[in-house]
Amino acid sequence: MFDSKTIDEMANKLAGVIPPALHTIKDDLEKTFRAILQSALGKMELVTREEFEVQKLVLAKTRTNLETLEKRVEALEKSFAPTQD
């Protein structure tokens, strides 16, 4: 998930593009941006890059195991198949 530092940076960047005429309400807008970002990002089912990479490795290992098992099943099926003479 996003940490509060990242959300603060995003809110600060959004507040930074506020036209000069609205700088008097910049702090309020930054707080509003932060709340909106926290709410919106909190509703999403996001994972960190680290979590994604771990799951990618798990999937690769599972795929390898599946391929190995498929080969074993195929070999067993061949060994039990009736021979045609």
Residue 1: pLDDT band with limits 50, 70, 90: low
Q: Are residues 55 and 35 in the same domain?
A: no
Domain limits for position 15: 1-46
pLDDT tens digits for range 39-78: 888 888 888 889 999 999 999 999 999 999 999 999 999 9
Q: Are residues 41 and 5 in the same domain?
A: yes
Q: Are residues 53 and 67 in the same domain?
A: yes
CA distance 78 to 35: 63
Q: Are residues 38 and 54 in the same domain?
A: no
CA distance 11 to 28: 11
Q: Are residues 52 and 41 in the same domain?
A: no
Sole residue written with tokens 């074993």: 72
Contact between residue 12 and residue 27 where contact means Cβ atoms under 8 Å apart: no
Q: Are residues 54 and 35 in the same domain?
A: no
Residues in the chain: 85
Contact between residue 64 and residue 37 where contact means Cβ atoms under 8 Å apart: no
Q: Are residues 12 and 38 in the same domain?
A: yes
pLDDT tens digits for range 6-40: 888 888 888 888 887 777 887 888 888 889 988 88
Residue 2: pLDDT band with limits 50, 70, 90: low
Residue 5: pLDDT band with limits 50, 70, 90: confident
